[in-house]
């Protein structure tokens, strides 16, 4: 069964850096796009950025350009999203999702990674 | 890019039907047949319900149906069941990325 497994809870201070991961298990995601989704407390879903596993092409939603960096390591079937300087407003639940290249169906979702940023 | 517009909430009694609208623009919903819908229960990850406007992945009950007209997509849940009480999000392709709707809370009375 295809699964996306994300890294766990992170508690950080403003200004710190962070990199969270999303690993595909029991399947090769070489021809998949991985998307990252933010869900702030009590709020809706927002696409942040996308990375293609095969060639590491990246795309970003306008609101997140310069705010985060998405990447992938095909050798270990893992995608990442990282922040260089966290803000309190980055406190949220972050999901990764996978869609086969050429389709628009986000079939597989990680369990979510909770990030709390507070001084 | 702004989020697609959905009603904040809809409700219905068990067995009834409800329809959720998702209004975008000629650059997203109106431009591509790449509209999908996701169901999210509290504390859970979203789940794909519909893709390519009106296709259901295997395992999704046929109570869920969807369509699109011009810049507005719609999701209909027929024969409401208690387990349908959840948040629902539409999603559209927009150029090279995607955009979600604002989300709709479906309450089963």
pLDDT one-digit tens code per residue, B15-34? 999 999 999 999 999 999 99
pLDDT at A26: 64
Percentage of chain B beyond pLDDT 90 is 97
Q: Which residue has the higher pLDDT, A53 or B70?
A: B70
Mean pLDDT confidence for A3-18: 97
In this structure, the dihedral spanned by the alpha carbons of residues A101, A102, A105 and A111, taken in order and rounded to 10 degrees, is 10
Best probe of the B interface among A44, A60, A93, by most B CBs < 10 A, is A44
Average pLDDT, chain A: 95
Averaged pLDDT for residues B54-61: 97
Percentage with pLDDT > 90 across chain A: 84
Q: Do A97 and B46 touch (CB under 8 A)?
A: yes
Q: Is the pLDDT of residue B1 over 80?
A: no
HSE-up (13 A, CA, CB side) for residue A14: 5
Q: Which residues of B touch A2 (CB under 8 A)?
A: none
Q: Average pLDDT, stretch A13-21?
A: 98
- B7: helix, strand or coil: coil
| Nearest by CB: A45 against B1, B96, B100 | B100
pLDDT tens by residue, B60-79: 999 999 999 999 999 999 99
Q: Are A38 and A94 in contact (CB under 8 A)?
A: yes
**Average confidence (pLDDT) over A106-119:** 97
Task: Judge: B93–A104 Cβ closer than 8 Å, yes or no.
Answer: yes
Task: Pick the closest to residue A98 from A16, A46, A23, A18 (CA basis).
Answer: A23
Minimum-distance CB partner of A45 among B1, B46, B93: B46
Asked if B96's CB is within 8 angstroms of A59's CB, the reply is: yes
CB B79 within 8 A of CB B63: yes
Put simply, the answer to whether A105 touches B57 (Cβ < 8 Å) is yes
Contact present, A115 and A20 (Cβ < 8 Å): yes
pLDDT at residue A106, as a whole number: 97
Condensed to tens digits (0 to 9), the pLDDT of residues A75-105 reads 899 999 999 999 999 999 999 999 999 899 9
Tell me the C-alpha distance between A45 and A85, whole Å: 22
Which pLDDT does position A30 carry in this prediction? 82
pLDDT of residue A25: 83
DSSP class of B81:
-
For residues A114, B1, B7, B9, the Cα torsion angle rounded to the nearest 10 degrees is 10
Q: Per CB distance under 8 Å, which residues of A are interface residues toward B?
A: 35, 37, 44-47, 50, 59-63, 95, 97, 103-107, 109-112
- pLDDT of A2 > 80? The answer is no
CB distance from B45 to chain A under 8 Å? yes
What distance in Å separates residue A46's CA from the closest CA in chain B?
A: 6
Per-residue buried b or exposed e for A76-93, using 16+ beta carbons within 10 Å of the residue's own CB:
ebbbbbebeebeeebbbb
Alpha-carbon distance of A104 to B40, in angstroms, equals 18
């Amino acid at each position: 069964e295809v699964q996306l497994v994300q890294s766990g809870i992170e508690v950080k201070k403003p200004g710190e850096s962070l990199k969270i991961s999303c690993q595909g298990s029991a399947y090769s995601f070489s021809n998949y796009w991985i998307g990252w989704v933010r869900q702030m407390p009590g709020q809706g879903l927002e696409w942040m950025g996308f990375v293609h596993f095969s060639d590491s092409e990246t795309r970003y939603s306008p609101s997140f350009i310069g705010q985060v960096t998405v990447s992938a390591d095909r050798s270990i079937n893992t995608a990442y999203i990282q922040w260089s300087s966290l803000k309190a407003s980055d406190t949220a639940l972050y999901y990764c999702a996978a869609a086969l290249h050429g389709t628009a169906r986000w079939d597989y979702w990680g369990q979510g990674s909770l990030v709390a940023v507070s001084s | 890019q702004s989020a697609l517009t959905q009603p904040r909430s809809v409700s219905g009694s068990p067995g009834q039907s409800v329809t959720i609208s998702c209004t975008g623009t000629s650059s997203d919903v109106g431009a591509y047949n790449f509209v999908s819908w996701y169901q999210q229960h509290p504390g859970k990850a979203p789940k794909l319900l519909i893709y390519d406007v009106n296709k259901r992945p295997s395992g999704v009950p046929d109570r869920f149906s969807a369509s699109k007209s011009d810049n507005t997509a719609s999701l209909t849940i027929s024969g409401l069941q208690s387990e349908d009480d959840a948040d629902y999000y539409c999603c559209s392709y927009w150029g090279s990325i995607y955009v979600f709707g604002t989300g709709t809370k479906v309450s089963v009375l």
